[in-house]
Amino acid sequence: MAGNTGTYLIRGAAILGGEQGDLLIRNGLIAETGTDLSAEGATVIDAAGLVALPGMVDVHTHLREPGREDAETVETGTRAAALGGYTAVHAMANSTPVADTAGVVEQVYSLGQKAGWVDVRPVGAVTVGLAGEQLAELGAMADSRARVRMFSDDGICVHDPVLMRRALEYVKAFDGVVAQHAQEPRLTAGAQMNEGEVSAVLGLAGWPAVAEESIIARDVLLAQHVGSRLHVCHVSTAGSVEIIRWAKERGINVTAEVTPHHLLLTDDLVRSYDPVYKVNPPLRTDADVQALRAGLADGTIDVVGTDHAPHPSEHKECEWAQAAMGMTGLETALSVVQHTMIETGLMTWADFARVTSAAAAKIGRLEDQGRPLEAGEPANVILVDPAARWMVEPSLMATMGRNSPFKGMELPGKVVATFFKGHPTVLGGALNTPYRHAASVGAA
Amino acid sequence: MKHLLSTENLSLANAIRILDTAEEMAAVGDREVKKLPALRGRTVVNLFFEDSTRTRISFEAAAKRLSADVINFAAKGSSVSKGESLKDTAQTLSAMGADAVVIRHWASGAPHRLAATDWIDAAVINAGDGTHEHPTQALLDAFTMRRHWARLAGTGSEGADLKGMRVAIAGDVLHSRVARSNVWLLRTLGAEVTLVAPPTLLPIGVDKWPCKVSYNMDETIEQGVDAVMMLRVQGERMNASFFPSTREYSRRWGFDDNRLRALDALGMKDTIIMHPGPMNRGLEISAAAADSPRSTVLAQVRNGVSVRMAALYLLLSGDTREPAATPALAYTGTHSTKESN
């Protein structure tokens, strides 16, 4: 096995929040599980009171590189990911240049390997330049070293129904998935926030729920018609949950994601006109929040995706209408999900492992991620202190983005350690060292 | 009060206080020397990111009658149009020692941003932000209505509210900051408000507002109304399918000559017709209605200076205490001395 991995004995962790057990990590794998394992030759980590979970997999991350290195780089974004408990992230395609060629996705992939904090799996653009006119070379990206399986114009909806149909059909050739940013563009021209009671008072142009729901309804029917795989990014409304539930009941091959912020925050926060709450899709109502939680708990929504979207401060220190959309999320996701789903009794830690790891890895077709914590499996493991409470302070985060909507909130749960391919990228709640890939970058 | 950002959170006591102070200021306008020394040495900046000559000169006249130094900063054609941010502009004005910033901005919430951040320490007056609020317009409208309502009651305006007054606000409510500010303020003052508009020009969520909603102008008039406020219709709305044509709009929602005659026929001799200006004669209001004795359009302009004097005086005179509620008044507003958030 490659890299700078050592031997670690995790002693007495609650495995998936259940029974206590030990995990022996050696040569990048979980070598042994059980109780009272021998510590010989191993660095022992006392995990009493900690929960052991599979490394989290984010299906939706904006790393901004190449092009907007003032907002985030692969290095800083993946440091944030490791601290947040992630061992893999999907880097969205809306970089500059757009990740719509094999060259760009390989660049991002290489930057991820060089950084060594997590697996960086580039997402390829569906259309050239995200312009929604012509399919990008999806096959070339799939065949590249980056082995792209997820394709998305995220930030922009593939709104042309014919183009969407073709994309869904085409990715079947290499087991790909189209991840749709569901937003009917004509219904959302100039939209600033959720359309409803609050937007009426604030005089901000509305982003109606129907603009999301109508696209999802169309897309699940297209996916059924062509027999392909659809993923719906950042589902934000109660109606969307209903449509996806209906589609799954009919056997349509659709998966869906929800962001941590849509599980907790509502459009009432926009009354402050503070652009830290500006995001796309927008924060919705409490009824939507409750429906999203229920949908995640019952499996209608498959995964939590952060939609981590760092922005430089000048893009948020301005008028609401001028501000960029997006929030950071990698370093708060675990805590927000614990707060909204586990502490409310809606989910267990085993469910958490499903929605933050196993199901996400399956959508992205990441073979070495989201695996059970069993002997012989890759050692992508995190240790979480569920009893910890902490105050969110964006200036202390590893991401370059300071645009966390959770600023000042006290949240539960802290990542104590992250093992990536058997190497501790995070120890004692702080960054350790990156994993070093044995094969030199670019030698594939 | 530190700022005047909206009427949504303006308490009844503060609203009455502004209106009463405006009455005192109006008396100054009747004097030979129309000037008070109250704000001598204070600097008021008119920061306008959107053209509005009427509102700007109204604030300018108000500040000058209070002896303040006035700086007009039209953001068009300035460093702002070269990409300077609101933050940098605010900090520049702060460094120059502005005591009050009167801000007009095309973006809803821009005045709230100035007031909520540490970019500038000055008092902030919202002179119209996007499609959000225009509190001094609502206050001058209320001032105009209150004088009328008090005259009908045979009492003085001072300390009075608008209890029982039936007000119809008609037109493009969706895009109107004037309508929003009026709905909140008139609610606080006890008036009964009916919004009259095509369904396309009402915001989703209007059903939660403290007012009635009607799609029918004639019915609203027939049911009895003491003031009809016509909102300006922007020409560009027609191209976005909010209504089929300007003629259809005018027939169904405009205050035309037939509706003017209906007021007479129904015996509503004291009903006034209001408009915040500038008017589209022949579209939302007919020439006969605009020029009739019922029209308060020019009185509104005159009262605008008094109300803005009152706002500037109260924000800058240093007395930011919440006044005690007048015992005769039911206290329905929020007890809050700050308007932000």
Q: What is the tens place of the pLDDT at every residue in A212-230? A: 999 999 999 999 999 999 9
The total number of residues shown for chain B amounts to 341
Q: What is the pLDDT of residue B234?
A: 80
A204:B133 CB<8 A: no
Q: What is the pLDDT of residue B331?
A: 36
Alpha carbon distance A156, A178 (integer Å): 13
B208:A317 CB<8 A: no
Residue the block writes with tokens 């050696």: A26
The answer to whether A160 and A135 have CB atoms below 8 angstroms apart is no
Exposed (0-12), middle (13-18) or buried (19+): which is A406, by Cβ within 10 Å?
buried
pLDDT in tens, A301-339: 999 999 999 999 999 999 999 999 999 999 999 999 999
H or E element in which residue B45 lies? strand B43-48
Give how far B136 is from chain A: nearest CA, Å: 17
Alpha carbon distance B242, B239 (integer Å): 8
**Chain A contact probe: residue of B47, B86, B112 with most A CBs at under 10 A:** B112
User: Is residue B209 less than 8 Å (CB to CB) from chain A?
Assistant: yes
Our measurement of the distance from residue A361's CA atom to the centroid of its chain's CA atoms, rounded to an integer in Å, reads 10
Q: What is the pLDDT of residue B326?
A: 40
The answer to whether A386 and A338 have CB atoms below 8 angstroms apart is yes
**How large is the average pLDDT for residues A132-161?**
98
User: Is residue B91 less than 8 Å (CB to CB) from chain A?
Assistant: no
Give how far A316 is from chain B: nearest CA, Å: 11
Q: Which of B106, B112, B205 sits opposite A197 (nearest CB)?
A: B205
Question: What torsion do the CA atoms of A84, A90, A94, A98 make, to the nearest 10 degrees?
Answer: 130
Which residues in chain B have their CB less than 8 angstroms from residue A208's CB?
Answer: 204
Which residues in chain B have their CB less than 8 angstroms from residue A202's CB?
Answer: 108-109, 132
Which residues in chain B have their CB less than 8 angstroms from residue A315's CB?
Answer: none
Cis peptide leading into residue A386 (ω within 30°):
no
What angle is formed at CA A128 by the lines to CA A216 and CA A190, rounded to 5 degrees? 55
CA atoms within 13 A on the CB side of B61: 19
User: Is residue B67 less than 8 Å (CB to CB) from chain A?
Assistant: no
User: Is residue A319 less than 8 Å (CB to CB) from chain B?
Assistant: yes
Q: Which of B109, B180, B205 sits opposite A196 (nearest CB)?
A: B205
Catalytic residue ranges of A:
307
Residue A226: CB atoms within 10 Å: 16
Please give the structure tokens belonging to residue A7: 């031997």
Mean per-residue pLDDT over chain A, rounded:
96
**How large is the average pLDDT for residues A47-66?**
98
The answer to whether B199 and B25 have CB atoms below 8 angstroms apart is no
Chain B, 108-147: which have a CB under 8 Å from a chain A CB?
Answer: 108-110, 112-113, 116-117, 129-133
pLDDT band, residue B337 (cuts 50/70/90):
very low
B109:A198 CB<8 A: no
Residue A284: CB atoms within 10 Å: 25
Name the closest residue on chain A to residue B132, using Cα atoms: A203
User: Is residue B206 less than 8 Å (CB to CB) from chain A?
Assistant: yes
Q: What b/e readout covers A27-52, taking b as 16+ CB neighbours within 10 angstroms?
A: ebbbbbbeeebeeeebeebebeebbb
The answer to whether A37 and A9 have CB atoms below 8 angstroms apart is yes
pLDDT band, residue B81 (cuts 50/70/90):
low
**What share of chain A has pLDDT > 90, as a percent?**
97
**What share of chain A has pLDDT > 70, as a percent?**
97
Residue the block writes with tokens 């996400």: A360
Give how far B204 is from chain A: nearest CA, Å: 5
Give how far B336 is from chain A: nearest CA, Å: 16
Give how far B75 is from chain A: nearest CA, Å: 14
Alpha carbon distance B168, B182 (integer Å): 11
Alpha carbon distance A439, B33 (integer Å): 88
Give how far B340 is from chain A: nearest CA, Å: 8
Which residues in chain B have their CB less than 8 angstroms from residue A204's CB?
Answer: 108-109, 130-132
Helix, strand, coil percentages (3-state) for chain A, rounded to 5, are 35, 25, 45
Q: What b/e readout covers A347-379, taking b as 16+ CB neighbours within 10 angstroms?
A: bebebbbbbbbbbbbbbbbbebbbbebeeebbb
Check: complex ipTM more than 0.85? yes
How many beta-carbon pairs below 8 A join chains A and B?
Answer: 78
The answer to whether A337 and A60 have CB atoms below 8 angstroms apart is no
Q: Is A67 left (phi over 0), alpha (psi -120 to 50) or beta?
A: left
**Chain B contact probe: residue of A199, A201, A269, A272 with most B CBs at under 10 A:** A201
- What are the phi and psi torsion angles at B125 (to 5°)? -115, 125
How far is residue A199 from each of residues A220, A268, B203, measured CA to CA in Å? 29, 9, 8
Sheet holding B43-48, edge to edge: B69-74, B43-48, B100-105, B123-129
B130:A195 CB<8 A: no
**How large is the average pLDDT for residues B205-219?**
97
The answer to whether A10 and A33 have CB atoms below 8 angstroms apart is no
**Chain A contact probe: residue of B131, B204, B236, B336 with most A CBs at under 10 A:** B204
Residue B147 above 50 pLDDT?
Answer: yes
Alpha carbon distance A136, A194 (integer Å): 32
Q: What is the pLDDT of residue B334?
A: 38
Cis peptide leading into residue B278 (ω within 30°):
yes
Residue A303: CB atoms within 10 Å: 26
Q: What is the pLDDT of residue B318?
A: 64
Alpha carbon distance A171, B282 (integer Å): 58
The DSSP call for residue B75 is S
Name the closest residue on chain A to residue B178, using Cα atoms: A203
The answer to whether A303 and A366 have CB atoms below 8 angstroms apart is no
B113:A203 CB<8 A: no
Please give the structure tokens belonging to residue B186: 């008139």
Sheet holding B166-170, edge to edge: B212-214, B192-196, B166-170, B227-230, B272-274
**Chain B contact probe: residue of A187, A193, A202, A272 with most B CBs at under 10 A:** A202
CA proximity to A383, closest of A101, A12, A2? A12
Residue B263: CB atoms within 10 Å: 21
CA proximity to A75, closest of A91, A97, A94? A91
